[in-house]
């Protein structure tokens, strides 16, 4: 199963108001493991980047002035994501911007992103899995023990790498990008939370019950059962 964890940075919020993409970052997973293949591209948006947005991602107008336009990188980008499942946090935002960029092409042979890749919104997954809690990427990192200490600014490639760790932790705990996890002795990986739990468990003393203690335990459960259901029976 081929998956692409993807993120974009933009000049502003709404592509309907002419806002454009300034950075794309993506990480490839194959059968829930990183392949080492990534896609990273800065893009000249051919418009001004809003100051409040620069404070979020740190990408200035000067930084992207000499980068290629989206039209120059569209084919390479689409070839990278084609036939994969895209994992995106708040997918409607990124897909909206990407589809708007495709629609601006003089000869748009690609149509829309959804015609070439399945889109999975990890924000929607988080809301379903953790109702009533915060669902930002930083909040999920804290909840799942994923290291985001390098995230001083939002950055498309770094955020994709972090989201890959978050996604794997949300869907079974298997990780492996090396941002916040260590290889265990079995060749798999463990989150920091799992490592801490295993470390604490290894330090707990073990007690062996005597026959008399075990009989007293069962007698207590029997008395509890008479008063109602005993969940330990």
What amino acid positions are annotated as catalytic residues? Answer: 154
Residue 222: CB atoms within 10 Å: 11
Is the CB of residue 32 less than 8 Å from the CB of residue 174? yes
Torsion angle in degrees (nearest 10) through CA of 146, 150, 155, 161? -40
Quote the CA–CA distance of 54 and 104 in Å, as a whole number: 24
Quote the CA–CA distance of 145 and 64 in Å, as a whole number: 34
Is the CB of residue 47 less than 8 Å from the CB of residue 11? yes
DSSP 49: P
Quote the CA–CA distance of 123 and 92 in Å, as a whole number: 10
């Amino acid at each position: 199963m081929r998956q692409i964890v993807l993120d974009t940075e933009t000049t502003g919020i709404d592509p309907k108001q002419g806002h454009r993409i300034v950075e794309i970052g993506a990480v490839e997973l194959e059968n829930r493991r990183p392949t080492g293949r990534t896609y990273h591209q800065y893009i000249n948006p051919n418009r001004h980047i809003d100051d409040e947005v620069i404070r979020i991602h740190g990408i200035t107008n000067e930084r992207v002035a000499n980068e290629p336009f989206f039209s120059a990188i569209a084919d390479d980008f689409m070839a990278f994501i084609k036939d994969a499942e895209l994992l995106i946090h708040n997918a409607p935002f990124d897909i909206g911007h990407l589809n708007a960029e495709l629609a601006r092409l003089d000869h748009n042979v690609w149509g829309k992103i959804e015609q070439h890749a399945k889109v999975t919104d990890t924000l929607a997954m988080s809301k379903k899995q953790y109702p009533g809690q915060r669902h930002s990427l930083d909040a999920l990192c804290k909840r799942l023990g994923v290291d985001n200490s390098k995230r001083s600014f939002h950055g498309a490639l770094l955020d994709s790498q972090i989201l890959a760790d978050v996604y794997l932790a949300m869907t079974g705990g298997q990780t492996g990008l090396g941002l916040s996890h260590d290889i265990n002795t079995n060749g798999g990986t463990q989150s920091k939370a799992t490592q801490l739990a295993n470390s604490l468990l290894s330090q707990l003393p073990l007690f062996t019950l005597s026959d008399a203690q075990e009989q007293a335990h069962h007698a207590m459960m029997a008395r509890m059962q008479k008063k109602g259901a005993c969940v330990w029976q």
